[in-house]
Structure formats: structure tokens, C-alpha cells
Structure 1
Amino acid sequence: MANTIYSINGPVVKMRGTKDFSMLEMVYVGHQKIIGEIISVNDEETTIQVYESTTGLKPGEPVYSTGSPLCATLGPGILSNIFDGIERPLRSMAAGEGAFIGIGSDIPALDLTNKYDVTITVKPGDRLTGGDVYATCPETALITHKCMLSPLLSGEVVRVAENGPYTVNDTVVVIRDGHGKEHELTLCQRWPIRTPRPVKNRKPISRPLITGQRIIDAMFPIAKGGTAAIPGGFGTGKTMTQHQLAKWCDADIIVYIGCGERGNEMTQVLEEFSELVDPRTGKALTDRTTLIANTSNMPVAAREASIYTGITLAEYYRDMGYHVAIMADSTSRWAEALREISGRLEEMPAEEGFPAYLPSRLSAFYERAGYMENLNGTEGSVTIIGAVSPQGADFSEPVTQNTKRFVRCFWALDKTLAYARHYPAINWMTSYSEYDDDFIDFYKQEIGPDFMPMKQRITALLAEEANLMEIVKLIGADVLPDDQKLVIEIAKVIRVGFLQQNAFHKDDTYVPLVKQHHMMKVILYLYDKASELVSRSIPLSNIVSTGIFDKLNRMKYDIPNQELEKFDEYYREIDSVIQQSDR
């Protein structure tokens, strides 16, 4: 019998003797209609990747064709929602089926009963092309949803509905294409998750994504529309860092993908996000956030699909003109899903058992980031921040190394810093950002022409301290001349007073860029003044004994973000200390 299951190997199901299916087509497998996707087709057999548990599935059960690829449903109701890896709403599933996901659950991604207050923005006779907005509605208290024509359609508006309340499947506009065929437009559309949504133009990167985290904004900035990796071993703070970025970065919308993480950790994320207040607006943070939860005990194939679902949702809101940030936690678990499925397919393994196509899959994901001019003339961006979990904190393993090839920002988490309670535990010696040159004009216009030179000086001081500490380990600090001791003292201020940040302090959890600029300026001012004294053979101990270095360590707490004029007191005190030490 054609179109029936021949073999089952975990999430990999095979059929023989059929040519009725096409590559990447979505199918329903078995009597329970489990969702799957065609991943291999040849003369002898067809292979399906199944996104649910295959427990109870038997050879001989039928496979049903859908004729379309695996798609995400895009429309109002995505924000504030929690989905699994193939965009099934977990809250609705829990309400209907309990705590455990049933096999073959067929629950619509969006609430079909909820009504939205729709405003039609077109009239009969208008000409629409792909991406044009034909209706708007308030999706949450923070985000206005723009219903856009599918990029695959164009035509003339022939009928429009009245403004008023509608569900996502209600027809609000009818258009007629160039062949005379009419298309009914609802509040939602579907889009294949593995196909990037088209744009008019990719724009050059010129603005940073402001996060309020000093080591990121000042030392290793990421662009709006850029890509970053956060690699780190167990317990180094990958998830915590992404939480801070999700809460404070100046993106309009956050898409958080929990890909293969521990269930209790994902539960904590869901609970925390539901309680957080958006510091920018005072509203609930979930009003501009959507969560995709695919924990380590969920079907492994759905983990592979989850990042494509997340990036498709992000591109959809980018097309509306919003700036979207994706937190993917973690791409290592996603790569492990690739490895498991590849092994079951008996493909030739590459390094450490990962499939040979791991680099191309990673690049295809990260390349969907960017600052774009959309089809409808608006501008939007998708920023991807992916956590990497190398086993044993070994950054030479394949996922980390291949990720470095495709991202321009690398925030390497250090377990030594994390265990010393230095957060964010980003190692300033092994991290880097390639976006500095793109932001030169932004820093000059928005902050000051001295911002980049000061950053370079601070980086040089930290590098010099690292070299000096190697000497100190061998022969001790006492033999160093005072100018080198000064470098160690000022680098300590940079590390403790500037790079270390307290997420639980009201003024230190988020620091605006202008305050970061002032802090850097004060630290370097002290260094320059102290260097003048040391060059005149005045003992460094005279300056250290005044406690001015310790005071600079506390300025992040002592100066509120809105009272930057207090920095003037620090300049006066430094001048006073220098004069006293000079006597």
C-alpha cells in the first residue's frame, strides 16, 4: 500500500514505493496525524522528520500530504504568547490537555475567537503590492499590529469591510490580481519558516543596539541588525545575560527562543518574564515579547525547527517597521538535535559527530539578521544574539568555532569571572566586536568625539594589566616601578568600578550611554593626573592612601543615572587629591 510507514527510528520515519511527496513538504504521519516534514526523497524511499513523539506509531499507518511546506501562522496574538518549536500555543494546550503535550495536538497557533479592533487603511480601487499594509489593530498596549499583504501577492482592492471588531480569520479586504482572481485577506497569513521573508534592500549598519550593559555598549557593542554569540560553560551566566538584554535593550520586540534548555530553567524564564515590568514604558514586558519554549525533554526534531519559527516571527514584525531582537538559548542544543537526526539518517559525520552541513545551517540562520528597508518602504531590523554552550567550556569545539565565522560580535563568558561573582562574566581579553568602525559617526554625533579614543585607551590599559599580572605571578608586585603599579591600580578600577555591573541595583542594572561616557572620562582623568605625579618620582602610595581609587569603584552606585552633574565633584576631588600628594 502506497503512502504508508515502512520504518520508524526515533523522529525519523521512512516510506517506500511512493513519489507523491515533495522536498520540505509538511505531512501528517499516522492515524494520530503527527506533524512531520519531508527531508529526503529518492526513487526508493521518502524520509520524514517528525516533530512529535513517535511512541505508539506503527509500520503500515498512513501518511497524509498537505501540499505545502511547514509554515508559521503570522497575525495578531503572537505577542504575549508562548509557543512550542512548531508554533503550537502552550497555554491553550495546557488548558485543553493538561500539563503534558498530547500526540497529534491540532490547536491553532492564534486564538480564533479573540476579536481585535481593526482599522482598514485602504479603499476600493487602491493598488496593493507585497508588503503593503491594508489594516491595523492594537495587538497589545505597546504594539500596533499591521496586517500586510503577502509578498507573493499583488492586486487591486475591490471590497473592504467596515472598521470594527474582527477575529484573525475574518475577511476584511478583497483584492483582484492581474489574472482576475479574487483573494480574501484576513488578519493573518502563513509563511514557510525555512524561507527568509523578502525585503527591498539591506541597509548598511550604523547604529548600536543600546543595552545599558557597560561592557557591551562601551567595549563590545552590537549593531541593530547585527549578530552576536554568547559562548560559556555551565553556570557562567548565558541565560542571565540574555535576560538582561531582553529587558533593557532598545529593541521594540523581543523573541526569546528556549531551544533544548532545562525545563526548570525555561519555567523560570516564563515566570520571570510574566512578572517583569518594561522599564521603557511601565507596561508588562510580555506586551512586546513572544516566547518559544522547546525544552530538553520535548521532541528533538521540534528543537531543530524552533529557531526557524522564531526568526520567521521576528522577520514578520520587522516587515511592520519594528526593531526586533532574538535571544536564542542555545544554538548548541539546536546543533545537538541536528547531530541526533543526522545520526539516525546514517549520514557521514564530520567533526565530533556533527553533520557536515552544520556551518551552512548556522550561516543560514545568522544571515537572516540585518537592518532592512522593507517592501512597504518602512525600515526595521532583526538582531540575533545566540548563546552557545560548549561542553567543558571548550571554545575550540565545532559549534563555537563555526559560530565565530558568522557573527561579528563575540562575548566570551569566563567561568573564573563568574565564580568570582563578576557579572556580566564577559572576558575582555577574549571577546571582540567588529562593529566599532560602523559606529564612529554615531558616537561622534550622539556622545562625543572622544568616546572611541577613550575606549581604545581603556582596552590598552586592560591588555597591559594582563601582561603585568604575568610578571607579578612570577616575582611579585613589589619589584614593579610605580608607573606599572599605577596601570594595575587603574585597571582594577576599570574592572570593578566600570565593567562589573549589579543587576539588582536600581541605578546600575541599566546605565545610559552618556553616563558610561562620563565614567570612562573620570577614570582616565585620574590616570592622567596620577601619571604626571609618578613621572615626577612622587610615590604612587601617596595617591592610593587617599582612597580616591576606591571612591571611583563606587561611583556607579553613588551617582544616579539622572544626576550626571555629580561627576563634576569627582573631578574637583581628583584635583584636590593630586595637589595634596604633590606636597
Structure 2
Amino acid sequence: MKGYIKTINGPVVIGRGMSQFKLREMVVVGTKKLIGEVISIDGDLGTIQVYEETEGLKRDEEITPTGSPLSVKLGPGMISNMFDGIQRPLDKIRADHGNFMPEGIGLLSLDEEKLWKVSLNVKTGDKVKEGQIFGTVPETEIIEHRLLIPIGVNGTVIKAVENGNYNIEENLIEVKDKDGKIHRVKMYQNWPVRISRPVKERKTIDKLLVTGQRVFDVFFPLAKGGTTAIPGGFGTGKTMTQHQIAKYCDADIIVYIGCGERGNEMTDVLEEFPKLIDPNTGKSLMARTILIANTSNMPVAAREASIYTGVTMAEYFRDQGYHVALMADSTSRWAEALREISGRLEEMPAEEGYPAYLPSRIAQFYERAGYVSTFSGKDGSVTLIGAVSPAGGDFSEPVTENTKRFVNVFLALDKELAYSRHYPAINWNNSYSGYTSRLEDYYDMRLDGDLMGLRSKFLDLLHQETKLNEIVMLVGEDVLPDDQRLVLEICRVLKVGFLQQNAFNKIDTFVPLEKQYEMLNTIDILYESGKSAIAKSIPISKVRDSSIYGEVINMKYDIENDQLQKFVTLNNKIRDFYSNLEVKYGG
């Protein structure tokens, strides 16, 4: 059963004689054996999306079916590796073929010759169920790869190998089901990328994804198993923000997708990540990271597949009982790939040329996040964090608008903050998190004080400051009463001393939640002490003491993350200063 090329339009190939092919089936196109996927069938004609450059293809060349959908091979060897959008290992291709990827190299994926140390925890005669962990492999020094019984396989183990070193193609166990069919289980399993992996139960999302970034952990918290969008124009720090989250969040595994971004950004990831020490484990960050580099000069169709490849890998590790954070940089490039292919298919365009099914595709991606109970008996999660690149920073364009409909955390990056070197450049007026109410119990258990109460108080002050600044721009600050001028001063301290964070300072780059609370509490003591002094008619010029304010701003550098007792000294110093001030002015 073969088809033949009829027309070629960039990555879209139309073939004839394809009535027996299946929708979403993976095919091999032409004498170059290019990888493609059937995306529509109309009678005898089939439309194929090709994941490699189609230059040099000719009419009437053969199209051969593979009998399976576009799938990824899930097994040991994924972590610390770098793949393209359809899971071809870039390091191996470079070693075999040089710096430029040749066409028609086939669907390479995991190393089939490397030996892995396998320890089985089942034996002959044991009953096994789908999703059960039947063995382990030490994949990296910090990640234990848990081997899973494939979905749909239930029965009795009739054969099991001895513990030892094996490659991924060897049969480790044989399972006989109730119908007498024998399933040979290997170290890996194939899974179609467009179908989400099943779970036993979806659970309530109520645990904080700790990032060590104050503006996230306190003001706009991310949750394990949640969805987050980071929209922003060029130069506002989307990639840098995702790098910081990837480096320091307390997820077990990071999947980083460079979806259509420039090659030098992925080069930066490649050069930087291996040098970084993970604060959670003390080991190299790459020991828990999978990179998918599908840069802007790679075929546009593979860019569309890279999102699905990455989220399928994330779901696989979730099923092993790990908490996975996936960074997609950026979903706008993925949407542009959809737009280009839709245009070549001559589909009716919707707003700004994007296909009418753009919202449903975005929804299908983000709904694969979640905190779940898995068939392995463990809890796991997939947290999706997608950057969005609206042209000119216009948040009203279709990708940003539709993403906003389906995510619970919206971290709006601001051009003015970025250009004034305020990083992370999160605009506190346009951003929000839908998880704050669900995380209140988490904060109460983790901290002694009322962090959520302080958060609400300071967000209110920041909104007040925005209104006051409009008055100041018209008539100047001097006309404001002292209590309102104090709000402006405290908000400056909050923005510089708390919301602004230095990624290049070894103390400030990652801040534990306990220190974040102490910092916010100190700013609150400064505010309440100043407010009390102003209520007793002490002039703002005396209340706004530069040395005290300077100490509060610099506490993020001066107080080490493990020296929280120093906050007691600083807080007492603030109280003593204002007590003496009130005595001096007859209070």
C-alpha cells in the first residue's frame, strides 16, 4: 500500500492513492525518506505535513505508511539529552553527520546500544497492572528512571530477566493476559504525542511551585500542576524569566522547549545549564533537564510537533511519580507554525490570519497540565509555563487573548519596567494568579505569619500608588498630604527592595519562602511605624530617613538566606528609631 506525490507546497505535500492511509499516521515521503504525518484524507487524496525540508522532492515519488501515529519513544536516555521537535537526538546527529542535519536520517530517538543497569521488583508469577512500576534504572545521579508496565497491559509475569545491564531493545519481562496473549515489555514504550496519557485521578491543585523569585512566590504564585502564561514584547525578559524558574523551581524534572526561538537563545541554555548547580540537589541542573531545541530556522511543521513531544515526555515522568515543570518558549511561534500550515492548506483564516481552531489547540495543550494520582500509586504533576510573544507587546492579539482564557496565572511583562532594568519585569497591575485562595493552607502550614494578609495589603498600596502617580505627574508630589507621600515612599522600597531581584547576585538569585516573608514583614513594620509617626504630626522629611530606608532596601543582599535571625535586629532598629523620633517630637 503506497501513495504517490501529486503536489508539493513547502512542508505540505498532497499525495494520491492514499485512501487506505489513516489520519494522523506517520509516513515516509519520497526517495529521501522524509518523515511526515497525514493530516487529512479526502477520497483518494491525502495531505501530509512533512517535518523536514522538502527541497528536491519530485512528483510521483512514493509515500510509504508506517502503520503508527507520530509517536515518541519514552525510556531511559531522555534526561540530560537534547532533541529536535520530533525527538531526534541532536548530539548524536552532530557526532555522526556534522553541524548540519541531513535529510532523511529517519526517526532516530533514544540510544539503542547503551547499556543501563536494571533492577526489577517483579518476578515470575507476580500479577502486574498497567502503569505499575516493575523496575528502576539510575538514569542520572539524581533521577531514578522508573520502568512502567505499558497502558493496556494487565496479567501475570511468565518470564523475567535477572538484574543486570541491558539495552532498551531487550525484553525484560513477559506478561500473559487473561486472553492468553503474551506482551513483551521492554525498557521503553511508544506513545502518540497528540494523545494525553491517562491518569487514575485528577487531584486538587493546592501546592506552591516554589521558584525562589519573590514576585512569583508571594504576589503571583505558581502551583504544581497549574498553568501559567508569560506574555511580553521583545526584550522584556520572557526567556530570562523562564530560565530563572527552570533553574530554581522545586520541580523534580524540567522539560525546556525552545519552540521557534532564535538559535543563540538555545545556545545560551546549553552553555549555562550544565554549569549551574541546582540548589535543591547540589548537582548539575542538566541532571534533571530535557531540552527540545526547535529553533526558528528548523522546519515549521516540526516546530508545531515540538510542543506535543515535550508535553508527552513530561506526562511520562509524571506517571512515574515525579513533579515536572515544562517551559515552552514560545507558544506564539507554535501558533505561527499553525498559521503557516493552515495558509498552505487554504483553510478559511480567522483573526489576523490564524486558523479558526487556534483556541481549541491552545486549550488542548494547557489541559494536559494537572496534579494527579497515577496508576503507579504515586502522585505526580505537570506544570505548564508558556511564554507568549505578542508583536509590539500588544496583548490584544489572538494568541495572548486565547491563552489568557485557558491559564490560571498571567504574568504580564512590562516594557517600561524592563527598559528601566527592573527584573523580573512583571507588571503588578496587569498580572494575576488564580491559585492564591487555594494556596492559603499551604502558606499557613509553611510559615508562622500571615503572608497572604501582607500580600493583599501591599497589592492595595501598589494600586494606590498608581493613582497617586497620576496626580503627581499633573501637579507634583509636594501637594499630597504626608500619609499619601508615605505610600509613595513605601512603594518605592517595595519595588526596589522586594519586587526587583538580581539574578546575578548569589544571595538574591534564589530566596527561600521564609526569607521572603521576613522581608515583606520588615517593610510592613517600616510602613506601620512611619504611619504612626505621621499620625503624630511628625514631618515626612524626618519619617523618610535615608539610612533606615537604605538598610531595608539592601536587606536582600546584606542578610544571608540562612541568617533570618538578623531580621529581628533590623526590625528592632526600625522600631527604636521611630520610638525615639516620637519622643523627640513630644509623642
Q: What TM bracket, shorter-length normalisation?
A: over 0.9
Match of 2:491 in 1: 491
Letter in 2 for 1:204: T
Aligned counterparts, 1:31-50, within 5 A: 31-50=31-50
2:410 matched residue in structure 1:
410
Q: Is the 8 A contact 1:261 1:330 kept in 2?
A: yes
Q: Distance in 1 between matches of 2:286 and 2:327?
A: 14
What is the letter of the counterpart of residue 45 of structure 1? L
3-state secondary structure, aligned to 2:205: coil
Identity %: 57
Q: Which runs of 5+ in 1 are unaligned?
A: none
Q: Which range is displaced more, 272-281 or 341-350?
A: 272-281
Is 1:357 the counterpart of 2:357? The answer is: yes
The one-letter code matched in structure 1 to 2:414 is D
Contact 2:2 2:63 in 1 (8 A): no
Following the alignment from structure 1 to structure 2, what is the Cα–Cα distance between the partners of residues 551 and 91? Answer: 49
Deviates further, 72-81 or 180-189: 180-189
CA shift at 1:449, angstroms? Answer: 4.8
Aligned partner of 1:435 in structure 2 is 435
**1:22 corresponding residue in structure 2:** 22
Q: Which amino acid aligns with 1:102?
A: P
User: Does structure 2 retain, via aligned residues, the 8 Å contact 1:89–1:107?
Assistant: no
Q: After superposition, where does 1:72-151 map in structure 2 within 5 Å?
A: 72-106=72-106, 108-151=108-151
Q: How far apart, in 2, do the equivalents of 1:438 and 1:448 lie?
A: 18
Q: Deviations over 1:378-428 (max 9, x none)?
A: 100000000000000100000000000000001111111111111101111
Q: What's 2:284 paired with?
A: 284
CA contact (8 A) 2:227 2:408 kept: yes
Q: Aligned with 1:574: secondary structure?
A: helix
Distance 1:107 1:346, change over 3 A: closer
Matches within 5 A, 1:4-403: 4-106=4-106, 108-403=108-403
Corresponding residue number in structure 2 for 1:456: 456
In terms of mean alpha carbon deviation, does 324-333 or 176-185 score higher?
176-185
3-state DSSP of counterpart to 1:463: helix
Counterpart CA distance in 1 for 2:387 and 2:18 is 41
Q: CA deviation at 1:535?
A: 1.1
Alpha-carbon displacement from aligned partner over 1:311-338 (angstroms, at most 9, x marks no partner): 0000000000000000000000000000
CA displacement at 1:269 relative to structure 2: 1.4
Listed one character per residue, the Cα deviations across residues 347-399 of structure 1 (whole Å, up to 9, x for unaligned) are 00000000000000000000000000001211000000000000001000000
Q: Secondary structure at the match of 1:564?
A: coil
Q: CA deviation at 1:578?
A: 0.5
- The Cα offsets for residues 43-82 of structure 1, whole Å up to 9 and x where unpaired, read as 1411000000001011100000111100000000000000
1:358 counterpart letter in structure 2: L
Paired residues of 2:533 and 2:543 also in contact (CA < 8 A): no
AA partner of residue 579 (structure 1):
S
Partners of 2:267 and 2:533 lie apart in 1 by 56
SS where residue 137 of structure 1 aligns? strand
Tell me, in whole angstroms, the C-alpha distance in 2 between the residues paired with 1:293 and 1:577.
Answer: 55
Give me the whole-angstrom Cα distance separating, in 1, the residues matched to 2:156 and 2:270: 44
Question: 3-state DSSP class of the match of 1:52?
Answer: coil
User: Aligned equivalents of 1:257 and 1:420: distance in 2?
Assistant: 29
Distance 1:109 1:557 in 2: 45
Match in the other structure for 1:518: 518
Tell me which amino acid in the other structure corresponds to 1:399: V
Q: How far apart are the structure 1 equivalents of 2:156 and 2:509?
A: 51
Deviation at 1:178, TM superposition (A): 2.0
Q: 1:179 to 1:398 in 2, by over 3 A?
A: same
* Aligned-partner Cα distance in 1 for 2:2–2:518: 72
Structure 2 counterpart SS, 1:436: coil
Give me the whole-angstrom Cα distance separating, in 1, the residues matched to 2:246 and 2:78.
17
Shift in Å, 1:546:
5.0
Contact conserved, 1:134 with 1:173, CA < 8 A, in 2?
no
Shift of the 283–300 alpha-carbon distance from structure 1 to 2, 3 Å rule, reads: same
Which aligned segments of 4 or more residues in structure 1 are displaced greater than 6 angstroms? none
Aligned in 2, Cα 1:107/1:363: closer, same or farther, shift over 3 Å?
A: closer
Residue 340 of structure 1 aligns to a residue in which SS? helix
* TM-score normalised to structure 1 length: 0.99
Instruction: Name the CA distance, whole Å, in 2 between partners of 1:315 and 1:75.
Output: 12
User: In 1, are the aligned partners of 2:171 and 2:185 still within 8 Å (CA)?
Assistant: yes
SS in structure 2 opposite 1:554? helix
TM norm structure 2: 0.98
Q: 2:319 & 2:423 partners in 1: Cα distance?
A: 35
Q: Following TM superposition, by how much is the alpha carbon of 1:33 offset from its aligned partner in structure 2, in angstroms?
A: 1.2
User: Counterpart of 2:443 in structure 1: which amino acid?
Assistant: Y
In the aligned structure 2, how far is the partner of 1:480 from the partner of 1:183? 78
Residues 6-32 of structure 1: CA distance to partner in whole angstroms, max 9, x if unpaired?
000000000124312011011111111
* Preserved contact between residue 205 and residue 225 of structure 1 (Cα < 8 Å): yes
**1:551-566 equivalences in 2 (<5 Å):** 551-566=551-566
1:455-506 deviation line (CA, Å, top 9, x unaligned): 1001011111111000000000000000000000000011000000001111
Change (3 A) 1:472 1:576: same
CA contact (8 A) 2:35 2:106 kept: no
Separation in structure 1 between the aligned mates of residue 3 and residue 418 of structure 2, nearest angstrom = 54
Shift of 1:133: 1.2
Is the Cα–Cα contact under 8 Å of residues 327 and 385 in structure 1 kept in the other structure?
Answer: yes
SS of the residue 2:134 aligns to = strand
Contact 2:331 2:387 in 1 (8 A): yes
1:473 corresponds to = 473
* Contact kept? 1:93, 1:107, Cα under 8 Å: no
State the partner residue of 1:543. 543
| Secondary structure of the corresponding residue to residue 66 of structure 1 | strand
Provide, for residues 140-165 of structure 1, a one-character-per-residue CA deviation record: whole Å limited to 9, x for no partner.
00000011011122121000000000
Amino acid at match of 2:539: P
In 2 relative to 1, CA 525–378 (structure 1 residues): closer, same or farther, beyond 3 Å?
A: same
Q: CA deviation at 1:569?
A: 1.2
Secondary structure, counterpart of 1:147 in structure 2: strand
Query: What's the offset of the Cα at 1:5?
Result: 0.4
1:212 partner letter = G
1:125-144 C-alpha deviation (Å, 9 max, x unpaired): 11111101111110000000
Moved more, 162-171 or 534-543: 534-543
**Partner secondary structure for residue 395 of structure 2:** coil
Contact 1:543 1:577 in 2 (8 A): no
Cα deviation for residue 184 of structure 1 reads: 1.2
Tell me the distance in 2 between the aligned counterparts of 1:216 and 1:314. Answer: 22
**3-state SS of paired residue (1:487):** helix
- Alpha-carbon deviation of 1:107? 5.4
Letter in 2 for 1:534: I
CA contact (8 A) 1:489 1:549 kept: no
> Following the alignment from structure 1 to structure 2, what is the Cα–Cα distance between the partners of residues 209 and 281?
16
Q: How big is each residue's C-alpha offset from its partner over 1:184-208, in whole Å with a ceiling of 9 and x where there is no partner?
A: 1111110000000000000001101
Please tell me whether the aligned partners of residues 2 and 65 of structure 2 are also in contact (alpha carbons under 8 angstroms): no
| Partner amino acid, structure 1, of 2:91 | R
Counterpart CA distance in 1 for 2:127 and 2:434 is 43
Give the secondary structure class of the aligned counterpart of 1:563.
coil
Could you give the per-residue CA deviations for residues 524-555 of structure 1, whole angstroms, max 9, x where no partner exists?
11111111111121111112135211211111
After alignment, is 335-344 or 121-130 more displaced? Answer: 121-130
